[in-house]
């Protein structure tokens, strides 16, 4: 089945290779397509480490500049999104270590129960002001609860739940075993339920959005740094 945990289809790999080839030649459309496809994931991963909107945006921008100036070194051994995610994680961890030396995404206690995934469906675009206000309040509660998770749990939760990555993809990205992903996800979910459900009940929404003007602003900033476009 195309795009499963077993890996992308041959057709998808061919399309990605063509897109990367165009990006190597500084094709603006290709660069925009890559950024718009990966902005949200990279932002959420960076924010999961740094817990700062502005720093996460800086990390995403720096990730693209580094990646697009080193595309000749991308050998296609993993998906482009995975390669970009690793650059973003390393950049975010580097910034965190500058504030707190010895930070590593490892060595946390393991839980033993099966993991259950909290779903984050896209919130509706209802025009009801009261509903919008309630949703914003819920979002603040959820974002705060995610920020309070220990770092190793927060990274697994961000990748596995908020970005919908598979167990295997998350394990590869973070350099841990799939079994560790499962136990850390269970522990993250338990901590979140204790923190969130007592306040707002089992109502979950899409947290940490990254779209619209924010996405376009970052994309334009990267293109300017690369000297592409107007």
pLDDT band at 202 (very low <50, low <70, confident <90, very high): very low
Question: Nearest to residue 63, comparing CAs of 42, 80, 44, 79?
Answer: 42
How far is CA 221 from each of CA 71, 101, 192, rounded to the nearest angstrom? 19, 30, 35
More confident residue, 117 or 91: 91
Q: What is the pLDDT of residue 143?
A: 83
Q: Please report, rounded to a whole number, the percentage of residues in the chain having pLDDT higher than 70.
A: 73
All domains in the chain, ordered by first residue: 10-102+211-226 (1.10.1740.10), 129-200 (1.10.10.10)
Q: How many CA atoms lie within 13 A of 12 on its CB side?
A: 12
Give the closest residue to 209 by CA, choosing from 61, 91, 56, 66.
56
Q: Has residue 56 got a pLDDT over 50?
A: yes
> Confidence band (pLDDT; 50, 70, 90) for 24?
very high
Alpha-carbon distance of 165 to 169, in angstroms, equals 6
Q: Report pLDDT digits (tens) over 38-53.
A: 999 999 899 888 988 8
For residue 213, CA distances in Å to 34, 96, 219, 220 come to 17, 27, 10, 10
What's the chain's average pLDDT? 78
Q: How far apart are CA 186 and CA 110, in angstroms?
A: 9
Q: Which of helix, strand or coil describes residue 79?
A: coil
26 Cβ partners below 8 Å, 6+ apart? 226, 227, 228
Would you state the pLDDT for residue 111? 35
Please report, to the nearest 10 degrees, the dihedral formed by the alpha carbons of residues 209, 212, 218, 220 taken in order.
170
Give the integer Cα–Cα distance in Å for 176 and 64.
25
pLDDT value at 34 more than 50: yes
Mean pLDDT over 191-208 rounds to 65
Q: How far apart are CA 78 and CA 57, in angstroms?
A: 24
Q: What is the DSSP string of 108-142?
A: -PPP-SPP-PPP-PPPP----HHHHHHHHHHHHHH
pTM of the model: 0.62
């Amino acid at each position: 089945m195309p795009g499963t945990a077993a890996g992308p289809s041959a057709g998808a790999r061919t399309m990605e290779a063509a897109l990367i080839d165009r990006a190597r030649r500084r094709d603006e459309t290709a660069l925009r397509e890559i950024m718009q496809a990966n902005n949200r994931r990279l932002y959420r991963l960076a924010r999961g480490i740094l817990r700062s909107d502005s720093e996460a945006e800086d990390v995403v921008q720096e990730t693209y500049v580094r990646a697009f100036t080193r595309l000749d070194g991308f050998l296609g051994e993993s998906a482009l999104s995975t390669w970009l995610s690793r650059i973003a994680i390393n950049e975010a961890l580097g910034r965190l270590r500058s504030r707190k030396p010895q930070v590593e995404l490892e060595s946390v206690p393991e839980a033993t129960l099966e993991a259950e995934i909290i779903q984050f469906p896209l919130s509706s675009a209802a025009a009801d002001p009261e509903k919008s206000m309630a949703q914003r309040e819920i979002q603040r509660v959820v974002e705060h609860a995610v920020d309070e998770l220990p770092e190793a749990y927060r990274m697994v939760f961000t990748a596995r739940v908020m970005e919908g990555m598979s167990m295997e993809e998350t394990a590869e990205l973070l350099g841990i075993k799939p079994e560790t992903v499962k136990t850390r996800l269970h522990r993250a979910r338990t901590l979140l339920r204790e923190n969130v459900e007592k306040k707002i009940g089992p109502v979950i929404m899409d947290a940490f959005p990254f779209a619209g003007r924010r996405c376009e602003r970052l994309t334009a900033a990267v293109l300017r740094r690369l000297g592409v476009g107007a």
